[in-house]
């Protein structure tokens, strides 16, 4: 899997850091860098890109407005010095959020997440949720010629990403075609709760709550403003 990457940041030093990191990876086929949003939009509307590393605080047009302006945005990773933007980023379907200064191990973690998503996406997995497929404790996932039983007790959380859902389990993850709303309708409501526009969590797998986020096995899950009351009732009150 060869990745075409775009880096947009108004600070040249920040661009240099990311480009240096990308140069270390033998599966990156090309890197284009931009210091302003106008040039980057023109490029992305006329060229294919797999991954966009996008700064948020930029003069003229910030990263959030930039992402909204793209008709077909690539997989996006926000890069910023401001932690509070993570919530807005996930609502726009970004796959990860890197806080500056970005350490190389954390950068590699984000890239691995992207590669996993693309590889699993290509498997074209789907949930079989017909009357004969749905069991009280599990659901069947069809991937190619394989049919895999997915136990609800093994699922820790689900992330919506554009038209796909990443289902995280205790042993790995599965990417399936379908919205986060579709997942909410399928997974049992007495075990799972929607905590954000882009996230569903297994109530029993929540380790703790810290202000506006949940922690599940080292993963930080944002709590959306519109979901705080229900989260408090179901998770804090359990």
Cα R_g (the chain), whole angstroms = 19
What are the residue ranges of CATH 3.40.50.2300 in the chain?
3-121
Distance, CA of 18 to CA of 72 (rounded, Å): 23
Residues sharing a CB contact under 8 Å with residue 139, sequence separation 6 or more, in sequence order: 127, 128, 129, 133, 149, 150, 152, 186
pLDDT of the residue at 114: 94
When the pLDDT of each residue in the chain is averaged and rounded to a whole number, the result is 88
Q: Taking a C-beta distance cutoff of 8 angstroms, is the pair 116, 225 a contact?
A: no
Confidence of residue 236 (pLDDT cuts 50, 70, 90): low
Specify the pLDDT at position 87.
Answer: 64
Here the tokens at position 187 are: 């997974």
pLDDT at 123 over 80: no
152: burial class by Cβ within 10 Å (0-12, 13-18, 19+)?
middle
> Picking from 15-29, 45-59, 176-190, which range would have the lowest pLDDT averaged per residue?
176-190
Taking CA 63 as the corner, what is the angle to CA 88 and CA 162, rounded to the nearest 5 degrees? 55
Instruction: Give me the percent of the chain exceeding a pLDDT of 70.
Output: 90
| Tokens coding 193 | 């709760």
Range with lowest mean pLDDT among 77-81, 145-149, 155-159, 172-176: 145-149
Residues of the chain with CATH 2.40.50.1020: 126-236
Mean pLDDT, residues 198-206 taken together: 94
CATH 3.40.50.80 describes domain 126-236? no
- pLDDT tens digits for 4-42? 999 999 999 999 999 999 999 999 999 999 999 999 999
Starting from the edge strand earliest in sequence, which strands make up the sheet with 164-169, in order?
A: 173-177, 164-169, 155-161, 199-202, 192-196
Laid out side by side, the sheet with 28-34 consists of 28-34, 3-8, 51-55, 75-80, 96-99
Tokens of 6: 């775009």
Does residue 134 carry a pLDDT above 80?
Answer: no
- Phi and psi based region of residue 178 (left: phi greater than 0; alpha: psi -120 to 50; beta: remaining): left
Q: Helix 104-121 vs helix 12-23: angle between axes, to the nearest 10 degrees?
A: 60
CATH of 3-121, one of 1.10.287.130, 3.40.50.720, 3.90.1150.10, 3.40.50.2300: 3.40.50.2300
Q: How confident is the model at residue 234 (pLDDT cuts 50, 70, 90)?
A: confident
Q: Count of CB atoms within 10 A of residue 9's CB?
A: 26
3-state helix, strand, coil in the chain (%, to 5): 35, 35, 30
Whether residue 85 has pLDDT greater than 90: no
pTM above 0.85, yes or no: no
Residue 125: what pLDDT? 67
Pick the more confident residue, 217 or 114. Answer: 114
Residue 129 confidence (pLDDT) above 60: no
């Amino acid at each position: 899997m060869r990745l075409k990457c775009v880096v947009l940041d108004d600070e040249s030093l920040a661009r240099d850091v990311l480009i240096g990191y990308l140069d270390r990876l033998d599966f990156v086929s090309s890197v284009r860098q931009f210091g302003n949003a106008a040039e980057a939009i023109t490029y992305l509307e006329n060229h294919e890109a797999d991954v966009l590393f996008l700064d948020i605080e930029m003069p003229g047009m910030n990263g959030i407005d930039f992402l909204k302006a793209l008709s077909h945005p690539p997989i996006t990773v926000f890069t910023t010095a401001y932690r509070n933007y993570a919530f807005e980023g996930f609502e726009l379907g970004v796959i990860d959020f890197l806080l500056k200064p970005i350490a190389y191990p954390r950068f590699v973690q984000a890239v691995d997440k992207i590669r996993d998503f693309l590889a699993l996406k290509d498997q074209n997995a789907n949930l079989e949720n017909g009357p004969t497929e749905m069991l009280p404790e599990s659901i069947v996932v069809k991937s190619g010629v394989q049919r895999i039983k997915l136990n609800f007790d093994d699922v820790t959380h689900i992330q919506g990403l554009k038209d796909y859902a990443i289902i995280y389990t205790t042993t790995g993850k599965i990417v399936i075609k379908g919205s986060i709303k579709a997942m909410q309708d399928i997974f049992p409501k007495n075990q799972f709760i929607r905590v954000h526009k882009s996230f569903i969590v297994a109530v029993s797998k929540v380790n703790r709550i810290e202000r506006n986020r949940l922690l599940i096995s080292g993963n930080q899950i944002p709590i959306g403003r519109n979901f705080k009351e229900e989260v408090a009732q179901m998770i804090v009150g359990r």
